[in-house]
Each structure stands twice: as structure tokens, then as C-alpha cells.
Amino acid sequence: MPLWLGMVPFAVAYAVTARAAGLSVLETQLMSVTVFAGASQFAAAGLFVSGANALGIIATTALLNARHVLYGLSLSRTLPLTRPQRVLAAQFLTDEAYGVAVVRGPQEPGGLSFAFLLGAELSLYFIWNLSTLVGALAGAVLPDPAALGVAVVFPLAFLGLLVPLLKDRLTVLVALASGLGAWGLSRVLPGGLVILLAGIGGALLGAFLSTRKQNTETPA
């Protein structure tokens, strides 16, 4: 439930940005129905606004959603799923659903179950799509989103995803390096490519520093 409060403004903001980028209500909604990935939908909406090319948008989506491999890997270790269950659960898997499944699932009688996972996923899916629709329709009513300064909601929403991840000095360092790197690159390269390069570069830096740290902390 508290997660809904985080999702609603995010979905509305996504929908308003997407509408401002010139997407129709149907297209805005279709992205929530099929892609169903807040961060990449937001990124795509932002990239549509800045006129980035299509391949950049798709590459950014692929990169942003690569983390879902981790969620799936982690879930499938505690929750064995049949093939049809995997096919279904995969469509609705998100950061939030993963978080709820991992934190609350074990507290359920009988532990984490497929029903619990799917229930968490579908409740988030429903709220996300409902909020998208509200935002898409409200976006059509707003006179000129650009004049209202709605564009600032885009970095704010990503900040909302970033802030909880800044747990230690290393994550702050990685965030600063990729953020500043992206700023530098954005002066010479198009948007989608900048995110891809800065994203890979920052994650490599983080992986390099954290594995080196582990190696020095736990000598063989």
C-alpha cells in the first residue's frame, strides 16, 4: 500500500511528460500496459521530448531494465516456479514487486508463494495503469506543460529512485562519476548514447571498486 503512494505521482508525471512529448493517450497507456517499467518509461518520455533517436530510447530501456535479471535470479532461488508461472510472473516484475516479495513474502503463512508474488505484481500493475490513464487525460487538459515547468519533474522522479540507492560512499561516488560523466558527454554526444555509456562506465567503476574491496577484506 505505501508503495502505491510512491507510484501514483510517478505514473502521473510519466504520463504528463509522455503527452508533452507528443504521444497520444493511447500510446502513453500502451507503454504502461506492455513495457510496465517506470524508470524506462520515464526515460523514454524524456528522450522523446529531447528528440533522441529511437535506437537510443530502446538501448536506454534495455540497459535500465538489465537489473531485472538480478531480481529474477534472486526470486527464483527462493521460489521455484513452473514454466507457465514464469511466463506470467515475468511480465509484471518490477522493483517494487520484488521488494515486497522479498521483504513481506517470508512473513506469509507458508512463506513466499507464487500467488503472493503475482498478487503484489498485479496490484502494482493495476495502480500504475490507472494512474497513467489519469495523468494522460489530465495532461491533455493542461494548457502547456512546458510553461508550467513540468520538465523539472523528470530529474526529480529519477532523484527519487536514486536517493534510496545511495547507501554508502561507494554508491555516492559511482553516482557522482556517472552523473558528471554524462554531463560532460552530453555536450558532444546524443542523449540515448550518453546514458548508455555513462551507465556502463559507472557500473563498471562500481563493480571494479567493490570487488577489489571484497578481495582485500577477505584474503584467501
Partner 1 sequence: MSVLLVIFLMWAVTYPVRWLGLSLGRLHLPPFWLSFLQFVPVSVFAALVLPEVLSSPEWPRRLVACVVGGLLMWRTGSLAPGILGGFAAYWGARLLGL
Report the site for partner 1 in 40-59 (rule: CB under 8 A).
Answer: 40, 43-44, 46, 48, 53-54, 57-58
5 part of the interface to partner 1, by CB under 8 A: yes
Residues whose CB falls within 8 Å of the CB of residue 175, separated by 6 or more in sequence, listed in order: 162, 165, 166, 202
Q: Which is nearer to partner 1, 138 or 200 (CB)?
A: 200
Asked if 146 is part of the footprint of partner 1 (rule: CB under 8 A), the reply reads no
Contacts of 210 (CB under 8 A, 6+ apart): 170
Is 85 strand, coil or helix?
helix
90 binding partner 1? (CB under 8 A): yes
Task: Select from 104-112, 123-131, 136-144, 153-161 the region that touches partner 1 (CB under 8 A).
Answer: 153-161
Q: Which of residues 107-136 bind partner 1 (CB under 8 A)?
A: none
Contact present, 132 and 94 (Cβ < 8 Å): no
Query: Residue 101, class by beta-carbon neighbours within 10 Å (0-12 exposed, 13-18 middle, 19+ buried)?
Result: buried
75 binding partner 1? (CB under 8 A): yes
For residue 105, state whether it binds partner 1 (rule: CB under 8 A). Answer: no
Q: Rounded to the nearest whole angstrom, what is the least distance from the CB of residue 141 to partner 1 in the complex?
A: 18
Taking each continuous run of H as one helix and of E as one strand, the counts in the chain are 11, 0
Does the protein bind partner 1 through residue 140 (CB under 8 A)?
no
